[in-house]
Amino acid sequence: MSSWQLFRNRFLSDRKYQYGVFRSIADWTIIVYLFIPAFLFLIIRYGSWWMELPSWIESIPFALLFMLTYLLTWNGSIRTYVEEADKVFLIKKQSLFFGMKKWGYLYSLFSQSLGTASIFVILLPFLRNYYGMNWMEISSLLFFFIALKALIMLIKLYFKKIEKKFKRVVLSILMFVVLSSFSQLIYFFWAQGALILVCLCGMILLIISIYFSLKAIQKLSTIDHEIDMGRADKTKNIELIFMFSNEMEKPVISKRTKPFFFRRSKRIFKKRTRVNGFIELFFKVFIRNRSYVMSYFQIISVGTVALVLIPPLWIKLIIFIGFLIMMNSWLSLIWDKVAPSNPLSKKYSKTDFYFTARNRAVMSLFIIAIILLGIFVLCWQSLLAQFGLPFGLFRG
């Protein structure tokens, strides 16, 4: 078996796996009556953009679309289709092993580049008919973002080797800021008409990224990290299903030996009462659980975007009321899931102080969520005002 055949078999096996995940949530009824009509609607809507541009595009400067494209460029990573058993069997045949990894990298680069190109295809009616760009200007930007995507994939591969999560997060934020500044410099060159310079920078980035990526995947020390990245990419659709399902919860597996918060389990409240004890227990479990915290901020983020971007004031009021109901119900559900899991909490689950602690804990996080929602809305309002956009909290 050649390296290409090995890669092809694993790729087809992965596609069958993803198809099985898709069919687990979508039977033929959903596909025929939901997905196909939605797809046809999007096609018709996209065609209408070529005939007549929507009015909302007049309020969006191209610089904002450029930065949104930069944000989307950070999605995706290298996948070499390495499996756990390869450390025992396939690693002995290094030419076959590395050949398969090279095919996996090339496919990852191709698929991620195709995803970047699809963004430009979606924006093409606006780029051509509203911003008045020619094909050379569009192609130069597309080529730069493809090269930037290759560089970001390489950076993610190296950052995956960092064991300390805090250090990895700090370096990721720093690299995000550095590449953002570099992208803004490229945008300045592009706006000045220096398209050859933009293409030259993209060519240099692409060559460097491919060269060092191929060197990186040839190192045997990266096999464990490649397995982790491949497993995460393979199960991302399943995690997405878990995220939107209230009945299913994916346990968070952490390599940390001590919790990041309250590692010495210090007291939150100086006054020791039975009510404060229940509240302290819930707060510590909630803050230490990454999935709870992420879901908490996701609900706030969705509410923020809806309040900022949807114009009519009466719809904003409905959205805000819906946010209050959803947040309160979700926090109550988390309490009912966390508190009974502790034997002591379960023993006193019928007492008055248990329900008092429940109401106070839920209300505390509920009020914090409202405050954070207000802060996020004001921040977005100020940011959009800098671009001269009409979107706002009191618009409509």
- Helices 62-73 and 165-191 pack at an angle, to 10 degrees, of 140
Whether the per-residue pLDDT at 322 is higher than 70: the answer is yes
Report which residue type is found at 229. M
- pLDDT category, 349, cuts 50, 70, 90? low
For the ranges 177-181, 216-220, 335-339, the lowest mean pLDDT is seen at 335-339
Residue 162's pLDDT is: 82
The better pLDDT of the pair 87, 390 is held by 87
Report pLDDT digits (tens) over 353-369.
777 888 888 898 899 99
Q: Which long-range contacts (CB under 8 A, 24 or more apart) does 238-243 make?
A: 238/21, 241/21, 241/24, 241/25, 243/295
Q: Which of 67, 60, 57 is nearest to 384 (CA)?
A: 60
Between the alpha carbon of residue 132 and those of residues 57, 127, 140, 200, 387, the distances in Å are 13, 6, 15, 23, 20
pTM of the model: 0.68
Average pLDDT of the chain, as a whole number = 80
Report pLDDT digits (tens) over 149-177.
999 999 988 888 887 878 888 888 899 88
pLDDT average, residue stretch 173-186? 91
- pLDDT category, 345, cuts 50, 70, 90? low
Say if residues 72 and 149 touch (Cβ distance below 8 Å). Answer: no
Say if residues 146 and 202 touch (Cβ distance below 8 Å). Answer: yes
The better pLDDT of the pair 202, 23 is held by 202
The better pLDDT of the pair 103, 382 is held by 103
Residue 234's pLDDT is: 75
Residue 82's pLDDT is: 84
Dihedral angle computed from the Cα positions of residues 223, 227, 228 and 233, in that order, rounded to the nearest 10 degrees? 140
